[in-house]
Amino acid sequence: MLDNDKIESFIAEWALTGGSELANTQSFVNGLCALIGVDPPKGSRANDSHNDYVFERRVFQMEADGTESFGRIDAYKRNCFVLEAKQGSDADRKAAEQGEADLDIFGQTAAARFKRGTAKRGTPTWSKAMVEARGQAERYAKALPIDHGWPPFLLVTDVGHCIDVYADFSGTGKQYTQFPDAARFRIALDDLRDEDVRARLATIWTDPLSLDPSKEAARVTREIAGHLAELSKHLEKREQNLTRVADFLMRCLFTMFAEDVKLIPEGSFTEFLTRMKERPENFAPSLSGIWTAMDKGGLAGMLGKAGETVLRFNGYLFKDTSAIPLNADEIGLLIEASTHKWNHVEPAIFGTLLERALDGKERAKLGAHYTPRAYVERLVMPTIMEPLRADWAGVQAAAGQLIEAGKADEAHGVIQKFHAQLAQTKVLDPACGTGNFLYVALARMKELEGEVIGRLVELEPEGASQYVAELSGHTITPENFLGIEINPRAAAIAQLVLWIGYLQWHFRVNGEGKVPPEPVLRDVKTIENRDALISWDKKVLERDEHGKPLTRWDGETMKVHPVTGKKVPDEDARVEVERYIAPKAAKWPRADFIVGNPPFIGGKDVRERLGNGYFDALFKTTDVPESADFVMHWWDKAALALRKDKTRRFGFVTTNSITQVFSRRVIAKHLNAKAGVSLRFAIPNHPWVDEKDGAAVRIAMTVAEPQGKSGRESGMVQTVIDESAAPQTVTLGSISARLAPICALGRM
C-alpha cells in the first residue's frame, strides 16, 4: 500500500503548476512512475535500437523529395504506449525560446507545439489542444518502426492536470478509443488517490494486453451459456413448445442483465431466485408478477424485502410475461447463471453461444469455436468506421479552425450537426444471424459517439444546459441497426443482443446511474424474420400422385458415413417440398452501410441445399449466374444499393472462391458499369470460423463504395502473413493498389 502522504504530496506539487507552459513533462512522468510503482523512462540514446523505453524517442518519415524528417515522442515504451504531452516536449520549449523552427515530421514548428501547451484549461482552446495532442500521438504511433507494431495505448497528458487514455487491442492502429470508457478515460490529478486507477496505469506500463476486456468477457460469456444450455436441456424434456422455452430463458437472462446494470435494484433478482428455491411451487406466478411490473413500471412486490419500484421496460420482450414452472434444481441453475457479472457479457459472441445453448441440435457445438470479435471488426472497421472517423476528423479540423478564430459557439454547432447525422446513421446486415456484426458496429459507433459528446460538453456555450442531458431521442440506439434473418430464433436473439449491447454502451458513455429514458426497451423490432433474397405471394406443397406431400433432404443435417468416416447428408432429416408462387426480388431497407456474413454455399450446391422450389424461384428474380456462389446474390444486391440507393459502403465475408469465373462476373458487372463501384478494401484469403459448426474455413473480405468522379479509386489489400496463433491472432500485411480486376486478388 502506497503511503498516502506521498500521494498527497505528488498531487499538491503538480496542482501548483496550473498548466504552466514551463511544466516539465519528464519530471511529471518520473514522479508518476514512482507513484504507480514502475521504473521511469531513460533518456534516448543515439542508437535508436536501444530506445525502447525512453523520453524523446525519435521517429522518422521519408518525404516525397527523398529527404528524411523526424519527430520526438515525449515518452515511449515499446509494446505498451506512446505518451504525448499537451505542453510538448522540453526540447520544444528550448527550440521555441531560441527561435529555432525545428520542424517535425508533420510540418509543425517547435513554437506551434509549444503554443499548444499554453492553452488555458476549461476553454475551447484547451479542448482543441488536447485533440491535437491525441492526433499527434496517433501519428507518432504510425511512424514507429514496423517491427515495433502499434502500441496498445496512447496517453495524452496535460501535465499536472489529467491523463487521457486511449486503447486499441487489435494491433491495427485504427481503433484507438477512450479507455476503459467515455466516463473514465480522463484521469484527473485527484483521481490518483484511487488505488484502482493507479493499478490501471501501472498495468499499462507493465502488462497492457491484460487489460483487453474481450478476454474476460469471452470467458464469462461461455460460462453463462453453459448454465443456460443445461437448463434448456432440462426444460425441453417436458415442454412441447421449444419456442416458449427459448423466449422464457431470454426473459430470464435479460432480467439478470438488468439487475447487474442496476436497471432493477442490484441483487434483487438473485435474492428472489434464492428465496424461490425454497418454495419452487411459487416460482412461476411470482416471476410472472415481476415481469408484469417491468412491462408497465411500478411496484414489483416480489423483489426486495417489501417490494421494489421498477422502471417501465415495456417494449417487445415483456409483452409475454408467462413463466415456466421450475423445480429447485432448475432454479439453482438460474442462480448459478445470475451470479456472473452480466454487464461483462460479450454480445459479439453471446448470440452465437445462446443460439447453441437453446437449440437441442446445436447444443453439442457449444464448446466449438465461434467467430472471434477481432475477425468481425476486421470487416466492420473499413466498411463503417473508417468513413465515419474520416468524417469526424474533418469536423474536428473545421471546429479547430473556428476555435482558433474565436468562434467557439460556431465550432459547437458544427460538432452538434455531425452528432445529429451520426445519430441517424443506419447499418444493415441482410443475413444477420444472431447479430454479431450489428453489435460490433453498434459498439464502435457508440465509442465514436462518446468522443463526440465529450467534445460537445467541453465546448458547451456558457450558461447552456449540458448537452448530455438533452440526449433523449438524439442518440445511437438499436433502431439504427437493421437486420434480415430467415431463422426466427436467431432473429429474436439478434434483437436481444442489440438491446443488451446498447444498454452496456449507454452506461459506458453516460456513466453508471444515468438510466435511459422510459420505456427502457422500445417496441421497435429492427430485425426482420424473412428471406433476404426473394419474396412470394404464397408457397404450396408439392404432392405425389396420391396427394402425399413430397419431401427432400433438409439441406443441413449431416451424419458420419459408416465406411469413409466423412460427413454426408442425413437422408432421414426431411422437409416438405414447396413451390413458390409469383416470386419477386426482396427489398432491403435503405441503409448508409451494409455489412455481414451471408451463408457459405457453393454455387454447385445451392439446388441440393435449398431445394428445387427455392432455386427456381430465386433465378426468376436475378441475373446472377447459377454457378456463382450463393453469397454473390447478396453482393449483387448490395452493389445495386451503392449505385441506386445512396448507400455509402458495403462489406461482406464471402467464400474465397470469389475470384473464380462465375462469381467474378458479378463483381465485374458493377466495377465496369457507368457510375459503378470501387473496391476499397480486400483480404483475398483469411481464416474464419463457420458459425454453423465451428469448423475452420477460408474466406475473403471485400469492401466497396460508389466510384468517385475520377472513376475507380485505389484501395487496401491485406494478406495473411502469420496465422499460427489463429483464431486469437492473425498477422496481416498491407499494400495500397487499384483493386481491379478482381482476379488479381487471388494471386496476392
Angle at the Cα of 303 from the Cα atoms of 302 and 309, rounded to 5 degrees: 110
DSSP summary character for residue 586: P
Longest Cα separation, the chain: 100
3-state secondary structure of 540: strand
Which of 394, 384, 658, 343 has the alpha carbon at shortest distance from 512? 343
Q: State which amino acid sits at residue 221.
A: T
- Cβ 715 vs Cβ 742: under 8 Å: no
* Helix residue ranges per DSSP H, 381-487: 386-404, 408-423, 436-458
CA atoms within 13 A on the CB side of 194: 10
Q: Find out whether 699 and 379 touch, Cβ atoms under 8 Å.
A: no
| pLDDT of amino acid 365 | 62
Residues listed for the chain: 748
Q: Quick one: three-class SS letters along 131-166?
A: HHHHHHHHHHHHHCCHHHCCCCEEEEEECCCEEEEE
Quote the pLDDT of residue 215: 78
One-letter amino acid for residue 168 of the chain: D
Using left for φ > 0, alpha for ψ between -120 and 50, and beta otherwise, residue 61 falls in beta
Residue 60 has a pLDDT of 82
Strand 42-43 relative to strand 53-62, pairing: parallel
Extended strands (E) in 291-438: 298-300, 308-310, 427-429
Alpha-carbon gap, residue 82 to 145, rounded angstroms: 13
Question: Is the CB of residue 647 less than 8 Å from the CB of residue 593?
Answer: yes
- Asked if 204 contacts 211 with a C-beta cutoff of 8 angstroms, the reply is yes
Block means of pLDDT (10 residues each) for the chain, length 748 residues?
Answer: 84 77 79 96 83 91 69 93 78 56 53 55 85 91 89 94 93 86 91 96 96 83 83 83 87 92 93 96 97 94 90 87 94 91 82 77 62 88 96 95 93 95 97 94 93 89 55 79 94 92 84 82 90 96 93 91 91 94 97 95 92 96 94 96 94 86 89 91 86 74 85 78 77 69 46
In this structure, CATH architecture of domain 534-542+577-747: 3-Layer(aba) Sandwich (3.40)
Cell of 433: 444471424
d(C-alpha 112, C-alpha 539), whole Å: 71
Report the pLDDT value the prediction gives residue 237, as an integer from 0 to 100. Answer: 82
Q: What is the pLDDT of residue 738?
A: 61
pLDDT of residue 742: 46
pLDDT at 506: 85
Tell me the three cell numbers of residue 240: 412441447
Q: What is the pLDDT of residue 470?
A: 42
Element (H, E) at 284: helix 283-296
**Looking at residue 732, what is its pLDDT?**
78
